[in-house]
Copies of this chain bind each other. A is one copy, B any other.
Amino acid sequence: MRISQLFLPTLREVPAEAEVISHQLLLRAGFIRKAAAGVYTFLPLAWRVIRKIEQIIREEMDRQGGQEIMMPIIQPAELWQESGRWDVYGPELFRLKDRHGRDFCLGPTHEEIITALVRQEIRSYRQLPQLLYQIQNKYRDERRPRFGLLRGREFIMKDLYSFDRDEAGLEVSYQKMYEAYTRVFTRCGLKFRPVEADSGAIGGNDTHEFMVLADSGEALVVFCPDESCGYAANVERATSPVQRDTVEEETSQPLKLVDTPGMHTVEQVTAYLGLNARRIIKTILYQTEKGVVAALVRGDRDVNEVKLQKVLDVLRLELADAPTVEKITGARVGYAGPVGLQNVRLVADDEVMLLVNAVAGANRDDAHLVNVNPGRDFVPHMVADIRVVRAGDPCPKCGALLRETRGIEVGQIFKLGDKYSRALGATYLDERGQSRPMIMGCYGIGVTRTMAAAVEQNHDEDGIIWPVSIAPFHVVVIPVNHKDEQQMNLAEEIYQELQAGGVEVVLDDRAERAGVKFKDADLVGYPMRITVGNQAVQTGELELRYRATREMQLVSREQIAGHIREYIDRAVRVL
Contact = CB atoms under 8 A, between A and B. Distances in A.
A68 B1 CA distance: 13
A340 interface: no
A43 B69 contact: yes
A143 interface: yes
Output the residue of A70, A91, A120, A141 with the most chain B CB within 10 A: A70
A67 B96 contact: no
Contacts of A92: 99
Output the residue of A6, A96, A113 with the most chain B CB within 10 A: A96
A120 B33 contact: yes
B132 A74 contact: no
A339 to B, nearest CB: 43
A531 interface: no
Interface in A113-140: 113, 116-117, 120-121, 126, 130, 132, 137, 139
Given A65-B5, A113-B41, A35 B71 contact: yes
A65 B7 CA distance: 11
A184 to B, nearest CB: 19
A42 B133 CA distance: 11
A200 interface: no
B75 A47 contact: no
Interface string A43-85: 1101100100000000000000101111111111000000000
Contacts of A141: 98-99
Contacts of A74: 36, 39, 94, 106, 139, 153-154
A301 to B, nearest CB: 35
A95 interface: yes
Nearest to A132: B7
B33 A117 contact: yes
Q: From DSSP, what is the main secondary structure of chain A's interface residues?
A: mixed
A466 interface: no
The copy count of this chain in the complex is 2
Given A35-B75, A113-B35, A7 B40 contact: no
A126 to B, nearest CB: 8
Contacts of A71: 35, 41-42
A41 B70 contact: yes
A392 interface: no
A104 interface: yes
A75 B121 CA distance: 35
Interface string A23-43: 000000000010110011111
Contact of A36 (B41, B65, B76, B117): B76
Output the residue of A33, A76, A95, A130 with the most chain B CB within 10 A: A33
A501 B216 CA distance: 47
A95 B98 CA distance: 8
Contact of A70 (B4, B50, B139): B50
A117 B75 CA distance: 29
A535 B293 CA distance: 79
A44 B67 contact: yes
A70 B4 CA distance: 21
B73 A44 contact: no
A155 to B, nearest CB: 10
A9 interface: yes
Contacts of A137: 73, 137
A149 to B, nearest CB: 12
Nearest to A120: B33
A54 to B, nearest CB: 11
A46 B70 CA distance: 9
B96 A94 contact: yes
Interface in A533-555: none
A106 B39 CA distance: 13
Contacts of A50: 70
Interface string A2-20: 0011110100000000000
5 shortest A-B CB distances, which residue pairs? A96-B96, A9-B121, A36-B76, A42-B70, A44-B67
Given A6-B67, A92-B99, A99-B143, 5 more contacts: A7-B67, A33-B117, A35-B76, A36-B104, A46-B70
